[in-house]
Amino acid sequence: MSISLPREPDFDKAGGLVPAIAQDAENGEVLMMAWMNREAFQETLSTGRAVYFSRSRGKLWRKGEESGHQQQVRQILVDCDADTVLLKVDQKGAACHEGYRTCFFREVGPSETKIVAERLVNPEDVYKK
Binding-site residue ranges for Zn(2+): 80, 96, 103
Q: Which amino acid is at 53?
A: F
Q: Give Cβ neighbours of residue 65 (< 8 Å, ≥ 6 apart).
A: none
Output the CA torsion sign for 98, 88, 47, 45: negative
Helices (H) and strands (E) in the chain, counts: 2, 8
Which residue positions form the known binding site?
Answer: 79-81, 83, 96, 103
Q: Which residues are annotated as a binding site for Mg(2+)?
A: 79, 81, 83
- As a whole number of angstroms, the distance between CA 91 and CA 83 comes to 24
